[in-house]
Chains A and B, each alone.
Chain A
Amino acid sequence: MRIGVFICHCGSNIGGTVDCAQVAHDAQSLPEVVYAINLMYSCAEPGQAAIEEAIKEYQLTGVVVASCSPRMHEPTFRRTVERAGLNRYMFEMANIREHVSWIGKDKEANTNKANELVAMAVEKLRRNRPLHAQSFDVNKRVLVIGGGVAGIQAALDCADGNIPVVLVEREATIGGKMAKLDKTFPTVDCSACILGPKMVDVAQHPNITLHAFSEIESISGYVGNFTVTIRKKSTYVDWTKCTGCGACTEKCPNKKTPDAFNEFTGPTTAISIAFPQAIPKRAVINPDYCRQLQKGKCGVCAKICPTGAIKYEMEDEVITEEVGAIVAATGYDLMDWTVYQEYGGGRYPDVITSLQYERLLSASGPTGGHVKRPSDGREPKNVVFIQCVGSRDKSIGRPYCSGFCCMYTAKQAVLTKEHIPDAQSFVFYMDIRASGKLYDEFIRRTIEEYGTEYIRGRVSKIYPDGKGSYTVCGVDTLMGKAITVSADLVVLAVGIEGSKDASKLAEKLRISYDKYGFFMESHPKLKPVQTNTAGVFLAGVCQGTKDIPSSVSQGSAAASKVLTLFSADKLQNDPQISAVDIKRCVGCGKCVQTCPFGAIQLTEIRGQEKAQVIDTVCQGCGLCSSTCPQGAIQLAHSTDNQILAEVHALCQR
Chain B
Amino acid sequence: MKFAYYPGCSAHGSSADYEISTQAVCRTLGMELADIPDWNCCGSTPAHAIDTELSTALCVRNLDIAAKENVEKLLTSCPSCLSNLRLARHRMQDQQFRTRVNELLDAPAAKEFPQTYSVMEMLHEIYGPDIIAGRVHKPLTGIRLAPYYGCLMSRPAEIMNFGDPENPTVMEDLLTACGADTLDFPLKTECCGASFGIPERSMTARLSGKILELATRMQADALVVACPLCQMNLDLRQEQASKAMNTSFHMPVLYFTQVLGLAFGLPPEALGFNKLCVDAGPLLRKLATAQKSGGAA
Contacts and interface: CB of A to CB of B under 8 A. Distances in A.
Interface of A: 340-342, 344-345, 347, 461-467
Interface in B141-195: 164-167, 184, 186-187, 190
Contacts of B184: 347
Given A341-B166, A342-B166, A345-B167, A461 B186 contact: yes
Interface string B208-223: 0000011011100000
Contacts of B217: 465-467
B164 A344 contact: no
A341 B186 contact: no
A103 to B, nearest CB: 38
B187 A463 contact: yes
Contact of A464 (B164, B167, B186, B190): B186
Contacts, number: 27
A341 B187 contact: no
Given A347-B184, A466-B218, A467-B217, A461 B190 contact: yes
Nearest to B219: A466
Nearest to A484: B210
Chain B: interface size category: 10 to 19
A466 B217 CA distance: 5
B214 A465 contact: yes
Nearest to B190: A461
Contacts of B165: 341
A95 B164 CA distance: 55
Nearest to B214: A466
Contacts of B187: 461, 463
A474 to B, nearest CB: 14
A526 B266 CA distance: 76
B125 to A, nearest CB: 21
B203 to A, nearest CB: 11
Contacts of A462: 186
Contacts of B214: 463, 465-466
A466 B183 CA distance: 12
A362 to B, nearest CB: 30
Contacts of A341: 164-167
A464 B166 CA distance: 15
Contact of A344 (B186, B190, B216, B218): B186
Nearest to A467: B217
Contacts of A467: 217
A463 B186 CA distance: 6
A464 B146 CA distance: 14
Given A341-B165, A465-B217, 6 more contacts: A340-B166, A342-B166, A344-B186, A347-B184, A461-B186, A467-B217
Contacts of A466: 213-214, 216-218
27 contacts: A340-B166, A341-B164, A341-B165, A341-B166, A341-B167, A342-B166, A344-B186, A345-B164, A345-B166, A345-B167, A347-B184, A461-B186, A461-B187, A461-B190, A462-B186, A463-B186, A463-B187, A463-B214, A464-B186, A465-B214, A465-B217, A466-B213, A466-B214, A466-B216, A466-B217, A466-B218, A467-B217
B277 to A, nearest CB: 24
Nearest to B184: A347
Contacts of B167: 341, 345
Instruction: Please give me the 5 A-B residue pairs with the lowest Cβ-Cβ distance, nearest first.
Output: A466-B217, A463-B186, A341-B166, A341-B167, A342-B166
A68 B213 CA distance: 73
A622 B192 CA distance: 64
A178 B104 CA distance: 65
Contacts of A347: 184
Nearest to B164: A341
B288 to A, nearest CB: 27
B11 to A, nearest CB: 31
Contacts of A344: 186
A107 to B, nearest CB: 46
Contacts of A340: 166
A463 to B, nearest CB: 3
A461 B188 CA distance: 11
A466 B186 CA distance: 10
A621 to B, nearest CB: 41
Nearest to B186: A463
A345 B186 CA distance: 11
A465 B211 CA distance: 10
A420 B165 CA distance: 37
Nearest to B213: A466
B221 to A, nearest CB: 15
A464 B213 CA distance: 12
Contacts of B218: 466
B190 to A, nearest CB: 7
Nearest to B163: A341
A463 B214 CA distance: 10
A477 B29 CA distance: 50
A343 to B, nearest CB: 9
A632 B223 CA distance: 77
A241 B187 CA distance: 56
A345 B167 CA distance: 9
A340 B167 CA distance: 9
A470 to B, nearest CB: 9
B220 to A, nearest CB: 10
Nearest to A343: B166
Nearest to A395: B157
A464 B186 CA distance: 7
A342 B165 CA distance: 9
Nearest to A344: B186
Nearest to B168: A341
A465 B186 CA distance: 9
Nearest to A462: B186
A348 B75 CA distance: 35
A427 B195 CA distance: 32
B202 to A, nearest CB: 15
A458 to B, nearest CB: 14
A342 B186 CA distance: 8
Nearest to A348: B186
A340 B165 CA distance: 10
A486 to B, nearest CB: 13
Nearest to B187: A463
A465 B187 CA distance: 10
B197 to A, nearest CB: 19
Contacts of A465: 214, 217
Contacts of A464: 186
Interface in B46-67: none
A397 to B, nearest CB: 14
Nearest to B216: A466
A342 B216 CA distance: 21
A347 B167 CA distance: 11
B242 to A, nearest CB: 17
A389 to B, nearest CB: 14
Query: Which of B167, B186, B217 has the most CB atoms of chain A within a 10 A radius of its CB?
Result: B186
A471 to B, nearest CB: 8
A349 to B, nearest CB: 13
